[in-house]
C-alpha cells in the first residue's frame, strides 16, 4: 500500500493530523475507509472545494475507500461562520442541492483510463440517520458526550459569542451533528478517517472523541490548509464573484481564465496543491515560472489541468480556442455561440438596440477608449480591430455580415484589450 502521507506533504495538502505516525501506519496497513463531507449551502461547489476533492482523489489512488457525504441534514442547519448567522434554506431547495452536488463530485472519483481497480466511492446523505433522531435521543445519547466548554472554544463559535450577532442554538448544535456523522459512518462502513478544511478542526476532533467514547475505537482526522491569495483576498473570488464548478454559474472559459490570470506568487503556491503532475514536472514548472515569469507556465498548467478535470476535454479545447481567437490568433467564426458569448461577457460587453453605432462610438461605449477622439486616433494608428480585422475607418458602421454567431461583435484595442458588442432584440 502506498505511503500517501509523504505525497500529501509534498503537495502541501496537510495542515494538521491527530497523530501523524499512527495515521501513517494505519494507511500503510491496508485499505482505509475515509470520508469528507460537503454541505449543500448553494447549488454548486466552488474552487475552494477543490482542495478537498484533490485529497479524496489522492487517497483513492493510493488504494483507499472514499465515502462522499453530502449533508442533507447539516445543510439545513449550517456550520457557524465567524461573522453572522447563515440563512436557512427550505428542505426542497437543500434536497435539490444535495443531488446536484453529488452529481458534480462523481466525475472526480471515476477511475481514469488505465486505472481500473480503484475503489468506487460510496455516497451518503446524513439526513438518512439524522432525521431518525428524536430530541430526547439527541440530548441523551449524543449531547451527554459533549462538554460545553470545548464547544465554546471553537474559533467560529467564540467569535460569534463576542459579536453583536451572537449565535443561535441551531448553529451551536452543528458540531454535534457532524460528530455523529463520523460515528454513523464508523458503524455502518467501518470508516476510520475524516478529512476537512483546517477551519473544521474542532468538528473533526469532536467526531473522533465521540467515536472513542461511544464505540471505544481509535479513528483519525486530517485537515487541509485554507487556500488564500497572496494579497489576502479570499481564494475562489474573481472580479465577477465566486468561481463555481457548475458551468451554468461560471463558464468553462471564465474558469480557465481565473487560473490563467492568477498572480505569479499565487500560481506558484497553488501548483503543488492542485496539480496531479509528478513531482519532477511540478518542479520544472516552478523553475520555468521563476526564471521566465512572462511565460506564465504555472498559470497555464493549472488552467489546462483543472479545466480538463472539472469540465472535460471539449470544454478545455473551446476555452483555449476562445482565448486565442479573441486576441487574433484563431478564427472567431469557428467558436460556438455559447463559448463566444461566455468569453465576451467575461471580457466585458455592451448591448446595442436600435441603429448600430459606428466603430468609434462602439469603442467608447465598451470602454476601450475614453472618447471619440481617442477612438479615431487609435484607428489612425492602426490599433483598432473589429473581429480581428484592422479597422481603417472610425466612422464605419458594422454591416450585417460582421455579426458573429449569437449576435456578437468583437472589438479589440491593441493586443490585449478586448470587449464585446451584442445585438439586442430591437436592433435591425
Give the count of beta carbons closer than 10 Å to the beta carbon of residue 32.
22
For residue 282, give the CATH number of its domain: 1.10.240.10
Of the three residues 249, 281, 311, the one that is the final residue of a domain is 311
Give the Cα separation of 233 and 283 in Å (integer). 26
Asked whether residue 77 falls in the same domain as residue 136, the answer is yes
Grid coordinates representing 333 are 467564426
The CATH number covering residue 381 comes to 3.10.290.10
Same domain, 277 and 342: no
123 and 163 housed in the same domain:
yes
Measure the CA–CA gap between 93 and 116, rounded to whole angstroms.
36
8 Å CB contact between 419 and 347 = yes
The number of distinct structural domains making up the chain is: 3
Grade residue 1 by pLDDT with cuts at 50, 70 and 90.
very low
Tell me: do 159 and 148 sit in the same domain: yes
DSSP-assigned letter for residue 109: G
**317 within a domain of the structure (yes/no):** no
Indicate whether 135 and 180 sit together in one domain: yes
Mean pLDDT of the chain: 90
| 43 and 18 within one domain | yes
**Burial class of residue 95 (count of CB atoms within 10 Å of its CB; 0-12, 13-18, 19+):** middle
Integer Cα distance of 213 and 208 in angstroms: 9
Contact 125, 98 (CB under 8 A): yes
Residue 85, domain member (yes or no): yes
The whole-number average pLDDT for the span 177-205 is 95
What angle is formed at CA 345 by the lines to CA 340 and CA 349, rounded to 5 degrees?
A: 110
Distance CA 191, CA 35 (A): 7
pLDDT of residue 113: 55
Same domain? For 106 and 26 the reply is yes
Q: Are residues 284 and 356 in the same domain?
A: no
Out of 163, 192, 224, a domain closes at 224
Residue 43 domain-assigned?
A: yes
Determine the average pLDDT of the residues in 38-56.
95
Domain of 180 in residue numbering reads as 4-224
Give the integer Cα–Cα distance in Å for 244 and 236: 8
Q: Which residues pair with 404 in a beta bridge?
A: 408
Averaged pLDDT, 332-347: 82
| Cβ atoms within 10 Å, residue 73 | 22
**Mean pLDDT, range 305-332, rounded to an integer:** 88
Number of neighbouring beta carbons within 10 Å of residue 323: 18
Write the CA distances from 293 to 298, 320, 327, 383, integer angstroms. 9, 20, 20, 26
* Chain center to CA of 124: 21
Asked whether residue 422 is assigned to any structural domain, the reply reads yes
Distance of alpha carbon 204 from alpha carbon 207, whole angstroms = 5
Same domain, yes or no: 215 and 249: no
CB atoms within 10 A of CB 139: 12
- Residue 415, helix vs strand vs coil: coil
Q: Does residue 322 lie in a domain region? A: no
- 216 and 241 in a single domain? The answer is no
CB 197 within 8 A of CB 172: no
Do 280 and 170 fall into the same domain? no
Grid coordinates 447563515 are at which residue? 86
Q: Say whether pLDDT at 341 is over 70.
A: yes
Q: Do the domain assignments include residue 15?
A: yes
Residue 323 domain-assigned (yes or no): no
Q: Which of 224, 247, 282 is the last residue of a domain?
A: 224
Which CATH number do you get for residue 10?
Answer: 3.40.50.620
Asked if residue 326 is part of any domain, the answer here is: no
What's the rounded Cα separation, in Å, for the pair 55 and 8?
Answer: 8
258-312 pLDDT per residue, tens? 999 899 999 999 999 999 999 999 999 999 999 999 999 999 999 999 999 999 9
How far is 206 from 360, CA to CA, in rounded Å?
64
When pLDDT is averaged across residues 12-16 and rounded to a whole number, the result is 96
Mean predicted confidence (pLDDT) in 184-202: 95
Name the E strands within 71-127: 122-124
Question: Based on the domain organization, do 69 and 57 belong to the same domain?
Answer: yes
* Per-residue pLDDT, 335: 79
Amino acid at each position: 500500500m502506498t505511503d500517501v502521507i509523504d505525497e500529501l506533504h509534498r503537495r502541501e495538502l496537510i495542515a494538521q493530523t491527530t497523530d501523524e505516525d499512527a495515521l501513517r501506519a494505519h494507511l500503510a496497513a491496508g485499505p482505509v475507509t475515509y470520508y469528507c463531507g460537503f454541505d449543500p449551502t448553494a447549488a454548486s461547489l466552488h474552487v475552494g472545494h477543490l482542495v478537498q476533492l484533490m485529497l479524496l482523489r489522492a487517497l483513492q489512488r493510493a488504494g483507499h475507500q472514499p465515502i462522499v457525504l453530502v449533508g442533507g441534514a447539516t445543510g439545513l442547519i449550517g456550520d457557524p461562520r465567524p461573522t453572522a448567522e447563515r440563512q436557512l434554506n427550505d428542505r426542497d431547495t437543500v434536497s435539490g442541492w444535495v443531488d446536484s452536488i453529488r452529481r458534480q463530485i462523481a466525475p472526480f472519483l471515476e477511475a481514469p483510463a488505465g486505472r481500473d481497480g480503484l475503489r468506487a466511492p460510496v455516497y451518503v446523505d446524513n439526513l438518512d440517520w439524522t432525521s431518525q433522531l428524536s430530541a430526547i435521543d439527541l440530548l441523551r445519547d449524543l449531547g451527554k458526550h459533549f462538554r460545553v466548554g470545548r464547544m465554546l472554544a471553537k474559533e467560529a463559535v467564540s467569535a460569534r459569542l463576542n459579536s453583536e450577532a451572537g449565535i443561535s442554538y441551531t448553529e451551536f448544535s452543528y458540531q454535534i451533528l457532524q460528530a455523529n456523522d463520523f460515528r454513523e459512518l464508523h458503524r455502518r462502513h467501518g470508516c476510520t478517517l475524516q478529512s476537512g478544511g483546517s477551519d473544521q478542526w474542532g468538528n473533526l476532533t469532536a467526531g473522533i472523541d465521540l467515536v472513542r467514547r461511544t464505540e471505544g475505537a481509535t479513528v483519525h482526522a486530517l485537515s487541509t490548509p485554507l487556500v488564500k491569495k497572496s494579497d489576502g483576498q479570499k481564494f475562489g473570488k474573481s472580479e465577477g464573484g465566486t468561481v463555481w464548478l457548475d458551468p451554468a454559474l461560471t463558464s468553462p472559459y471564465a474558469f480557465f481564465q481565473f487560473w490563467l490570470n492568477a498572480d505569479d506568487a499565487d500560481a506558484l503556491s497553488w501548483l503543488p496543491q492542485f496539480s496531479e503532475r509528478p513531482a519532477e514536472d511540478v518542479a520544472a514548472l516552478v523553475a520555468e515560472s521563476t526564471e521566465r515569469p512572462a511565460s506564465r507556465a504555472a498559470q497555464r498548467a493549472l488552467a489546462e489541468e483543472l479545466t480538463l478535470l472539472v469540465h472535460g476535454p471539449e470544454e478545455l479545447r473551446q476555452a483555449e480556442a476562445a482565448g486565442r481567437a479573441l486576441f487574433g490568433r484563431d478564427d472567431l467564426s469557428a467558436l460556438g455561440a455559447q463559448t463566444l458569448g461566455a468569453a465576451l461577457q467575461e471580457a466585458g460587453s455592451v448591448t446595442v438596440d436600435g441603429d448600430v453605432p459606428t466603430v468609434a462610438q462602439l469603442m467608447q461605449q465598451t470602454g476601450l477608449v475614453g472618447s471619440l477622439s481617442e477612438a479615431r486616433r487609435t484607428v489612425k494608428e492602426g490599433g483598432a480591430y473589429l473581429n480581428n480585422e484592422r479597422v481603417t475607418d472610425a466612422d464605419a458602421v458594422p454591416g450585417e455580415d460582421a455579426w458573429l454567431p449569437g449576435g456578437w461583435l468583437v472589438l479589440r484595442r491593441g493586443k490585449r484589450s478586448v470587449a464585446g458588442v451584442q445585438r439586442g432584440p430591437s436592433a435591425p
